[in-house]
Structure 1
Amino acid sequence: MKFIIRVFINALVLVALAGMFPAMIAVESFGFALLAGLFITIINGTIRPLLQLLALPISFLTFGIFALIINGISLELAISFAGNQIVINGFFNVIIVSLVLSFVQSLVFKFLNENFKF
């Protein structure tokens, strides 16, 4: 159930960011946002932990700032799997979108855990 909720949260955040900041991110349709949300959820669960483990020395030297780069790389990888229907302009914008995705996910799951024993 958490997997499905994460996919929908990621899709909704991508569509919301595309509506609020059209110069930063462009999403063709909600269907493609769902596809990207699926890839984001899969990559965050599989590839991103491996990247974090491999980059642990660099993250240690940069006091964790390199984790932002890893989040951006994993988001860019997921968006590239979704095709040309979702475009994020510039790597700095990719990092911002990944931060917003992480923040919204943490808020939603905190709310769900407190209110619904999820």
Structure 2
Amino acid sequence: MMEFFVTLIVTAISMIVTAYIIPGIVISSTSAALIGAFIFGIVNAIVKPILILFTLPATILSLGLFLFVVNALCFWIVAYFTPGFEVKGFFDALFGSILVSIVSGFLSQFLDK
């Protein structure tokens, strides 16, 4: 259970860092980041596998690069369902999803030690 809360906090921090770096992403409060991190986990667990399944031909044809688009769509879905979290365009969602993954991975490695 403690690992869940640590992952939630790490994801919220990485969303705040992403909103600070990318001007097209706005997070109004820390609670919005925490709610967004929770919804991000739900979307990644339920919606993302379904999207990957439906877009499998495009993913195969693009040699896996279409997964960046799937990640951006998931990030955009999180922003849609989270009050206080706004993504202004597709490329903001694309770069935001990449940056959240990088920062989360870095913070997770830092906390594992």
Normalised by the shorter chain, which TM-score bucket? 0.7 to 0.9
Per-residue CA deviation, residues 4-51 of structure 1 (Å, 9 max, x unaligned), is 222212211221222334x32111100111101110011112211121
SS in 1 for 2:107: helix
Tell me the residue number matched to 1:88: 87
Per-residue CA deviation, residues 68-92 of structure 1 (Å, 9 max, x unaligned), is 1100111111111112x11112110
Does 2:16 align with 1:39? no
- RMSD after superposition: 1.7
- Extract unaligned runs of 5+ from structure 1: none
Q: Residues of 2 paired with 1:46 and 1:7: CA distance?
A: 17
Indicate the percent of aligned positions where both proteins have the same amino acid: 25
- Extract unaligned runs of 5+ from structure 2: none
TM-score where L is the length of structure 2: 0.86
Distance 1:69 1:87, change over 3 A: same
List 4+ stretches of structure 1 deviating above 4 A: none
Q: Compute the displacement of 1:112 (Å).
A: 4.3
Aligned length, in residue pairs: 112
TM-score where L is the length of structure 1: 0.83
Q: Whose relative contact order is higher, 1 or 2, with alpha carbons under 8 Å and at least 6 apart?
A: 2
Distance 1:45 1:3, change over 3 A: farther
